[in-house]
Amino acid sequence: MARWIAGLDGCRGAWAGVLVDRDDPERWRTAHFRSVRDVLDTPEAPEIVGIDVPIGLPERIRDKGRSADNAARALLGAKRTSVFPVPPRAAVYAADYETAKAFSRERSEPPFAPSLQCWNIFGYIKEVDTLLREEPALRARVHEVHPEVAFFRLNGDRPLKAGKREAAGLAERRLLLAVAGLPPSLVASTPPRGVGADDHLDAMAAVIVARDIAEGRAVALPPEFEHDAEGLPVVIWAPAKGLGRDPVC
């Protein structure tokens, strides 16, 4: 029986998706999905989904961000990363950006407001938060990941040399994905219509983390993580460290 896993990355109001059969990695497909529900309901019915979206929204934020965000930034050790602080749940569900900033400042210590970049992904956050609150059984299948963290780990806990939208950066990431065990045909595949090349590779990084979660070797950031008031885990999952990994199996 096939055991499918999936990786998802937000892309232009939808999701860049990669599905791989753990029992036969040469069986894979990529797609541009309208919703996370669509991915879960595919014929493959992935048992584990790694998704690049914050899961677990505390009612109050302390220490400049969720514990998972702070742990990820500490791992990366860079002054400028795309791991931005996620505000409290009330801010995520605010009707407009100004209200979101006000709610965030009221419910954070020290006070902070979400960046415009963070505000622009609130739709993704709300979609996943609503889904996992309404269907708790899905919490065993859908897990938060972060592509920047994943590639850092796959690179032996070293920063990558080029940006993900640069030709050199795309080539660097493809090499890491291939060494980590993804089929060469998948790594070299053309992104589905509506999916950017960087989002395509980020979804592949997410499927690597999904594999490691399924095999019990993924790393939790932080190691001892909390749950929010709705019971959702506040944790970013990362792949096991290092190069020369075994194939997806």
Q: What is the pLDDT of residues 196-215, one digit of tens each?
A: 999 999 999 999 999 999 99
Asked if 33 and 17 touch (Cβ cutoff 8 Å), the reply is yes
pLDDT score at 63: 85
Architecture, CATH, for domain 4-56+135-238: 2-Layer Sandwich (3.30)
pLDDT in tens, 94-126: 999 999 999 999 999 999 999 998 999 999 999
Alpha-carbon distance 70 to 109, whole Å?
A: 14
Instruction: State the DSSP H helix or E strand holding residue 18, giving kind and residue range, or none if neither.
Output: strand 14-21
pTM above 0.85, yes or no: yes
pLDDT score at 1: 63
Q: Pseudo-torsion of CA 14, 194, 47, 25, nearest 10°?
A: -170
Q: Pseudo-torsion of CA 4, 124, 148, 108, nearest 10°?
A: -130
Residue % of the chain over a pLDDT of 70: 95
Q: Domain residues of the chain, as ranges?
A: 4-56+135-238, 77-130
Q: Which two tokens stand for residue 225?
A: 């993580």
Evaluate the omega torsion of the peptide bond into residue 222 and state whether it is cis, within 30 degrees of 0: yes
pLDDT score at 216: 96
Q: How confident is the model at residue 148 (pLDDT cuts 50, 70, 90)?
A: very high
